[in-house]
Amino acid sequence: MRIAVIGGDGTGPEVVAEGLKVLQAVAEKVGFDYETTDFDVSGDRYLAAGGDPNVASIPVIRDEEIDALRAYDAIYLGAVGHPDIAPGILEKGLLLHLRFALDQYVNLRPVKLYPGVETPLAGKGPEDVDFVVVRENTEGLYTGMGGVQYAGTATEVATQIMCNTRHGVERAIRYAFELCRRRNDKKRLTLVGKTNVLTHAHGLWYRAFCEIGEEYDDIEKDYNHVDACCMWFVKNPEYYDTIVVCNMFGDIITDLGAMIQGGMGVAAGGNINPDGVSMFEPIGGSAPKYTGQNVINPVAAVASLAMLLRETGQNTSDAKLIEAGDRVEAAIMAVTPKMKSQSAKRMGYSTSEVGDLIAAAVAEAQ
């Protein structure tokens, strides 16, 4: 198994290091070989190469580096975001560029409350918060279609186009149906949109959902307007099983999902191309104010590693990798009850100590 590692910015390299520590432990436990290659792609490199901190002026990641990444089984990413670089430059130049270039058309976000992790939802526990969001990842408002005219004048016009293709919508929905069937939980797939207002874009989503759904008699088909979905996340998260959603709304509801599962310190995600190379990352940002202090929570990064193993194993029919992913998640669930908090500086342990605990839980498990 070949893994490309992009530590990225801020605390990204620190949390990735803990994930790699756990990877070594689970590889020894389960018995599989792997190799990792570091790719130096970061805000520091962008600035050192003469990049303008205010306007994108040079590539954040080069075309030859993207071509090299195609040869790997998976990409493990730490964080993107530099305090001295304007927002959008690194995010578009690395995250969005890789998602589009590698056709990672699904953003997969498990929303799972681990034991011992506090949720802001009164009266809810791990048995209530356990669902997954399939966010379409390469279309919608994120394509960058649109523009500005008459900038700086009283008649300035700004447009951003929500671009949806039948091909892009169908493949995201079909992925979600297949995932819902594999989960074999409530067997309910909920489409989240805004069909009463975005009648063109989300009319396409709804038609495709209904048509594809006819092929899945075993799956209950459900629909939520996005505002209602946000309400039900808070009131009755136990209702949900699998959700499929467009790019923009998916970005929003998965951050809400992260908070009800205990915060950004535990939220993991994957950018999936089932037929190519996928990229896995913790959802939280680079947290530059904590860089180098050994106080940031690595649980989300380790959970991303569990996803990397499980999803790669699923796509390659490698039972050892699937087992490894399950073992890593089980180890996380053994460690979170020992932590005082999931917030930086409040965990009761350092970053490296949390990584040590999870690695030890992997090694000691039967």
Average pLDDT over residues 295-322: 96
Structure tokens that stand for 173 in this block: 């929905």
Average pLDDT over residues 70-88: 97
pLDDT of 286 > 90? The answer is yes
CATH class belonging to 119-261: alpha beta
pLDDT of 328: 98
Amino acid at 278: S
Q: How far apart are CA 361 and CA 349, in angstroms?
A: 15
Average pLDDT over residues 214-231: 98
Residue 168 makes CB contacts below 8 A (sequence gap 6+) with 105, 136, 138, 139
Confidence band for 121, pLDDT divided at 50, 70 and 90 = very high
Q: What pTM, to 2 d.p., does this model score?
A: 0.95
Q: How far apart are CA 226 and CA 241, in angstroms?
A: 16
Q: How far apart are CA 76 and CA 98, in angstroms?
A: 12
- Buried b vs exposed e over 154-173: b needs ≥16 C-beta within 10 Å? eeeeeeeebbbeeebbbbbb
Compute the half-sphere exposure of residue 230: CA atoms within 13 Å on the CB side of its CA. Answer: 11
| Model confidence pLDDT, tens digit, residues 166-211 | 999 999 999 999 999 999 999 999 999 999 999 999 999 999 999 9
Average pLDDT over residues 26-44: 97
Supply the CATH classification number for the domain 1-105+267-366: 3.40.718.10
Q: How far apart are CA 242 and CA 173, in angstroms?
A: 11
Residue 55 makes CB contacts below 8 A (sequence gap 6+) with 86, 89
pLDDT of 31: 97
What are phi and psi for residue 58, nearest 5 degrees? -140, 160
Q: Cα(first)–Cα(last) distance of the chain, in Å?
A: 24
Tell me the H-state helices in 72-225. 89-90, 97-101, 166-183, 201-213
| Model confidence pLDDT, tens digit, residues 229-238 | 999 999 999 9
- Could you give the angle at the alpha carbon of 295 between the alpha carbons of 90 and 10, nearest 5°? 15
> How confident is the prediction for the chain on average, in pLDDT?
97
Where along the chain do the CATH 3.40.718.10 domains lie? 1-105+267-366, 119-261
Q: How far apart are CA 336 and CA 338, in angstroms?
A: 5
Shortest CA distance to 250 belongs to which of 193, 314, 180? Answer: 193
Average pLDDT over residues 289-304: 97
pLDDT of 190: 98
pLDDT of 284 > 90? The answer is no
